[in-house]
Amino acid sequence: MGTDFLFSMPSILTGASRVLDLAGQFDRYNESTTVEEADGRALLCDLVVTARDLRTVAEGPPVEEEATE
């Protein structure tokens, strides 16, 4: 699950059709059935991103090999 779960991910066709959508009928977002489900998904996404960040920090900067001449 990505960090963009709650954002709308339109295709190029829906993006182009929004030009003619004056009433806002194409505004759809990812929805959860309950508040608890939405909170759980948001918490899970936060934990995944935090774990990824901690793993990146623990690995340290990439080691560059010295060029041999």
pLDDT above 80 for 48: yes
Q: How confident is the model at residue 34 (pLDDT cuts 50, 70, 90)?
A: very high
pLDDT in tens, 52-63: 999 999 998 877
pLDDT above 80 for 15: no
Query: Residue 64 falls within a domain, yes or no?
Result: no
More confident residue, 26 or 52: 52
Query: Residue 17 falls within a domain, yes or no?
Result: yes
Domain that holds residue 34: 12-59
Alpha helices (H) in 22-65, listed in sequence order: 35-59
Torsion, Cα of 31, 33, 34, 35 (10° steps): 0
More confident residue, 18 or 49: 49
CA dist., res. 17 & res. 23, Å (int): 12
Query: Residue 25 falls within a domain, yes or no?
Result: yes
State how many domains the chain has.
1
